[in-house]
Amino acid sequence: MDPPSNTEHPFGVNGASSIHILVRPGPDLSHLYVMRDLLSTAVGVTPKSVNDSGMAWTWDLDTPGNDARPQLILGVPHLPGEQKHVEEHGEGIYKVTFRTKDGGRLIEIVTQVGTLW
């Protein structure tokens, strides 16, 4: 496409690597399971459990015309920065990471809506 600036990112980004969503666990974890089920329905596949805690899951997402499989990650806050983010901004997208042409990741950028890598 012309000009190349319409389709080429100046930092070499060529797609998403992951999207990390944080939710409040609640007293009985039911809200977390509802969110997992809603995302499973939207994505169309069953998630993989990240660990034995039953409090985090990943989905491998399809990307047309690309062999890379970005991940959708759902979990509860564990690290202090994650907990602070949920307290200040609520539930939702916490972090997005991007693939670059060389396979590396961009530097971390903290924003009002989360963290971009």
- DSSP class of residue 106 equals P
Tell me: the pLDDT tens digits for 2-34? Answer: 565 565 666 666 777 888 899 987 787 888 889
CA distance 92 to 6: 29
Taking the model in full, what pTM does it have?
Answer: 0.76
User: In the chain, what are the domains?
Assistant: 4-116 (2.60.40.4320)
Residue 111 has pLDDT above 90, yes or no: no
Mean pLDDT along residues 45-59: 84
Residue 78 has pLDDT above 90, yes or no: no
